[in-house]
Amino acid sequence: MLSQVRLFLPELYFLFMGLVLFAVSVGRGAPNPRRTYHTAFVLSAIGLIVSLGSLFVEGELFFQAYRVDLFSQIFKVFLSLGMFLVVTICSRLDGVEERYHPEFFLFLTTCTIGMMLLVSSVELITLFVALELSSYSLYILLPLRRGGGERSAEAGVKYFFMGAVASAVMLFGMSYLYGVCHTTHLVDIFKRLPDAVFMPGAIIGLVLTLAGLFFKLAVVPFQSWAPDVYEGGSNQLVAYIASASKVAAMAILIRLTALTGANSAYFMNLLIILSLIGMTFGNLVAIKQRDFKRMLAYSSIAHAGYVLMGILTMSDAGYSSVIYYGLVYLVLNFACFLVIVLVSEKGDNVSIDQFAGLYKRAPLLAATLLLGVFGLAGLPPTGGFTGKFLIFIAVIQKGYLWLAIVAMINVTISLYYYIGVVKAAYLLPPAPDSVDIPVSTPMRFLNYLIIAMIIWLGVYPEIVYDLASLAAKAVL
């Protein structure tokens, strides 16, 4: 019994954290944002430590519907890291009304729980329930933005409707998979699907199931929610959506694509096409964007294309490169949102012009922005380059040299709009009415930490990559 608790420890801890925040939220009395923030900060820090401690446990729970292995645990560490980092930038949660702060943290916690359950699910219905738990938390969080007016309500409604449709489609696909394989456990599906993958029913089932997850990862053509949601949501929430929820989607996509056992050329071609279109579309449309969060949304669509490239190789090298890229992507996105939160006034959206003269107003933030943006572009010596490099190794190993070349061309295209951000921060003089941005000491420390992480992941990938390789072997 105790060993089973050990397996489930991170989830149980975050459940406990959720209950504490729930208690805070129903408490009477004047809202105390400082106390709420400190509670959330301490609890999420402990959560990160708990997840790190549970890194090497293995086992199965709940009638083999729930698998705890290195693959799932490594993603739980990423998710709790993402949660912790987002909480650190919530000290001045201007985007949300004070009385809703506890609810904000509560639903972030439930979303994290949902995603942790998601990465460990090896059974279709568990997967669906976990996905819904995380999705509903986000549906509630989006409209909570203060002063967002129409935009945040629009974002909330769009995300809710499209998410609901995606879930329904996913469930329908799962029913087809059940019909073909007569089981909902992924392990058994893995045994039966490769032989059955030529049946149209199997392909439909697989594609529709994946559609729900492609929606989460913003793979084209399921990406249309991303720009509006990124623009309409409050900055800290979008930081969470951009980093943590994408990572969870990557994890479960790896598990599900591994199901087919690389037998179906049809399926491979489909993934290749989705990857190509995603990369190109995301990069091209991002060029036009003036709002930085919207630009990041389109860049995330392009990154979904790169990640899909790694996933479709269906090899250990491919999976480990995607796991590595998951961490890198988390850190890079967080770096960009960190700068957004510190630059934005009263939690408003930040347009690229507002970065003008950042090198004078806040040189440390300009440096973080530079590294984050160049990391997303994939330039050495940032982690973004190493992540893409590892994906290319997997892709070329499978013989898709041309796909790597197209991806690199896309990287060059993406550089155009990323340089636009750097240009504003470093080249343009500050606007006449702008002021220097004060950066408190904890925030300075956070900036240094993020810069160090980005460069470490770029120059010395050994430790994390070895861990990712071990995790990739445990996928199925």
Partner 1 sequence: MAEFLEIIRQLPLLSSILFLTVLGLLIIILLPEERPETIKVVSAVISGAILIVCILLYMGYDQGRGGLQFVERSIWVKSLGIYYFNAVDGINLPMLLLTGIVLFTGVLTMWQLEKRVKEYFAFTFLLVLGVFGVFMAFDLFFLFVYYDIALFPMYPLIAIWGSTRKEYGAMKLTLYLLAGSALILPGIVLLFIKSGLWTFDMIALSQAHFSPVVQSIGFLLFLFGFGVLAGLWPFHTWSPVGHVAAPTAVSMIHAGVLMKLGAYGVLRVGGFLCPEGWAQWSELMAVLATVGVVYGAFVGLAQTDLKYVIGYSSVSHMGLVSLGLSTVTVSGVNGAVFQMFAHGIMTALLFSSVGYIYDKTHTKMIPELGGMSRNMPYISGFFILAALAGVGVPCLASFWAELLVFISAVQTYPVRGILAICGLLISALFMLRVVAKTFYGPANPKFAGLPDINIWLASPRAILAGCIVLFGLFPWMMLNLIQVSTVPLIGRVVGY
Q: 57-92 burial, b for 16+ CB within 10 Å, e for fewer?
A: beebeeeebbbbbbbbbbbbbbbbbbbbbbbbbbbe
Q: Which is nearer to partner 1, 195 or 466 (CB)?
A: 466
As measured in angstroms, the least distance from the Cβ of 114 to partner 1 is 33
Q: Which is nearer to partner 1, 273 or 401 (CB)?
A: 401
As measured in angstroms, the least distance from the Cβ of 447 to partner 1 is 14
Q: Which is nearer to partner 1, 433 or 462 (CB)?
A: 462
As measured in angstroms, the least distance from the Cβ of 290 to partner 1 is 18
As measured in angstroms, the least distance from the Cβ of 58 to partner 1 is 22
As measured in angstroms, the least distance from the Cβ of 170 to partner 1 is 35
Q: Which is nearer to partner 1, 80 or 410 (CB)?
A: 410
Q: Which is nearer to partner 1, 49 or 409 (CB)?
A: 409
Instruction: Name the site residues for partner 1 (rule: CB under 8 A).
Output: 359, 374, 379-381, 385, 389, 392-393, 396-397, 401, 404-405, 408-409, 411-412, 415-416, 419, 422-423, 426-427, 459-462, 465-466, 469
Which whole-number Å values give the CA distances from 106 to 18, 43, 95, 126, 453, in the listed order? 5, 11, 16, 22, 28
Q: Which is nearer to partner 1, 49 or 408 (CB)?
A: 408
Q: Which is nearer to partner 1, 157 or 474 (CB)?
A: 474
As measured in angstroms, the least distance from the Cβ of 469 to partner 1 is 7
As measured in angstroms, the least distance from the Cβ of 174 to partner 1 is 37
As measured in angstroms, the least distance from the Cβ of 385 to partner 1 is 7
Q: Which is nearer to partner 1, 288 or 423 (CB)?
A: 423
C-beta neighbour count of 352 within 10 angstroms: 18
